[in-house]
Amino acid sequence: MTVTDRQSARPDSIDAPGVGSAGPTTTNGATVPRSATRPTSRLRSASQVEVHNGAASTGPSAAPRSRGAWHEGDPVGRRSFVDIGGLDLERGGRLSQVRIAYETWGTLNAARDNVILVEHALTGDSHVSGEAEPGHPSPGWWNSLIGTGRPVDPDDWFVVASNVLGGCQGSTGPSSLAADGRPWGSRFPYVTVRDQVAAEVALLDALGLDRIAAVVGGSMGGMRALEWAVTHPQRVDRCLVLASTAYATADQIAWCQPQLLAIRHDPDYAGGDYYGTGRSPEVGLGLARRIAHITYRTETELSDRFGREAQLGEDPLRDGDRGRFAVESYLDHHAGKLARRFDANSYVRLTEAMNSHDVGRDRGGVTAALARVSADCTVVSVDTDRLYPPRLSDELHAALPTSTRAHITSAFGHDGFLIEEDQVGAIIRDALAR
């Protein structure tokens, strides 16, 4: 396994002071265990860890690129990297080399029991908190969560967040280079939520983190948080699942289908091998984002916010070169914004992974699987969420051995778990205090 630090672009290995001691050393702007940054020989075995400053190149600098993905040679920002080696996949096949990008905040305590793992949703990444900067085109997607005086205070907690397997912001995914130096593209295998958690387990193992004080996630991140608690009950003390589910429902899968078709039917998708063609399926990705975004919000919010208003300076009732309604312009904005920061292949693979989610698969059903959980769970729903309706949280809460049920009141639907900062913050504070 290989650990790569963000602090320099130089690929040469370095020596860390005090190697072999039990104390911490600083990397990625936070304090991490020395065992995670111990320099050794170049042998890639599970017991040996290589340390590099910056992202070592794994292919030619002129390799085909995706506009929305992070690539080797780009500014690393606050990312660090771990090469976890090979990963056997749940449904067959194997990724021979997997790299996981991650960020950390805070200090690991002497007892190593203050670790919080934050899981991002579909189009998130490891940049949970922080400013936009080179390497991070957008500010942290949950800036209200982490910081001094915030619900997860780095003075008390050591926070880890990774980019999910199959993503496009530093972890191995379809836009990454395979062993032949070409992007994976259509060759990238089908991965499940369980595969993604297995990669995260390998990451924490490489960092020397055996126990998680809390795993926190919303939406797709909630799926992984719950999978952690089911698969590794001995490692998880608390599990916070926001606006999520124990299994992907028929309705959720149905909403995903037109999104996947929109991308795959874009001529520029080229069967997933559009890297290096000079084209990108941004039309299809934009359509997918429009469909998804409608499910993330509510009818009442859209009605109250936009009504039947025309976009400023446009006439939606004009024949010929028709203008847009304001709500159409709003959807166009979100479509274009995503295309600038996300890769279409990752959108496809991660959406398929969400559809795979079922904690009861091959475990005797959902109820039997949830009975394994020993963590103190907090199950949170948004009252207006039409994609992950509160009934799914009710089911989850009822089946968990130890669970607290919490509710968010919001006009914003599914996105309420990100927007209603005060309510969410209070819930997380209460959960961490138990």
**Distance in angstroms (rounded) separating the CA atoms of residues 142 and 149:** 15
Instruction: Reduce the DSSP state of residue 102 to 3 states and report it.
Output: strand
Residue entry with tokens 């021979």: 96
Nearest CA among 422, 429, 373 for reference residue 396: 373
**Distance in angstroms (rounded) separating the CA atoms of residues 46 and 203:** 11
Contacts 24+ apart (CB under 8 A), 137-143: 137/340, 137/341, 138/341, 141/418, 142/118, 142/418
385 is catalytic: yes
Instruction: Reduce the DSSP state of residue 184 to 3 states and report it.
Output: coil
289-321 b/e with 16+ CB inside 10 Å = b? Answer: bbbbbbbbbbeebbeeebeeebbeeeebeeeee
- Catalytic residue (one of 385, 393, 397, 410): 385
237 is catalytic: no
381 is catalytic: no
Residue entry with tokens 């809390």: 214
- Catalytic residue (one of 162, 176, 219, 346): 219
**Distance in angstroms (rounded) separating the CA atoms of residues 339 and 337:** 6
Contact yes or no for 377/229 (Cβ under 8 A): yes
Contact yes or no for 192/356 (Cβ under 8 A): yes
Contact yes or no for 193/357 (Cβ under 8 A): yes
Nearest CA among 216, 238, 227 for reference residue 404: 238
- Catalytic residue (one of 52, 71, 120, 414): 414
> Which phi and psi (to 5°) does residue 399 adopt?
-90, -15
Q: Specify the amino acid at residue 325.
A: F
Distance of CA 136 to the CA centre of its chain: 14
Contact yes or no for 189/89 (Cβ under 8 A): yes
Burial of 20 (0-12, 13-18, 19+ CB in 10 A): exposed
- Each of the 434 residues of the chain gets a pLDDT tens digit; together they read 545 444 332 222 222 222 222 333 333 334 444 333 322 222 222 222 332 333 333 333 456 778 899 999 999 999 999 999 999 999 999 999 999 999 999 999 999 999 999 999 999 999 999 999 999 999 999 999 999 999 999 999 999 999 999 999 999 999 999 999 999 999 999 999 999 999 999 999 999 999 999 999 999 999 999 999 999 999 999 999 999 999 999 999 999 999 999 999 999 999 999 999 999 999 999 999 999 999 999 999 999 999 999 999 999 999 888 999 999 999 999 999 999 999 999 999 999 999 999 999 999 999 999 999 999 999 999 999 999 999 999 999 999 999 999 999 999 999 999 999 999 999 999 999 99
- Going along the chain from its start, the domains and CATH numbers come out as 251-354 (1.10.1740.110)
**Distance in angstroms (rounded) separating the CA atoms of residues 89 and 422:** 39
Distant-in-sequence, close-in-space partners of 71: CB < 8 Å, separation ≥ 6 = 63, 65, 175
Residue entry with tokens 């289908």: 257
Q: Rounded to two decimals, what is the model's pTM?
A: 0.87
- Compute the chain's Rg from CA coordinates: 21
**Distance in angstroms (rounded) separating the CA atoms of residues 371 and 276:** 48
Contact yes or no for 412/384 (Cβ under 8 A): yes
DSSP string for 333-348: HHHHHHHTT--HHHHH
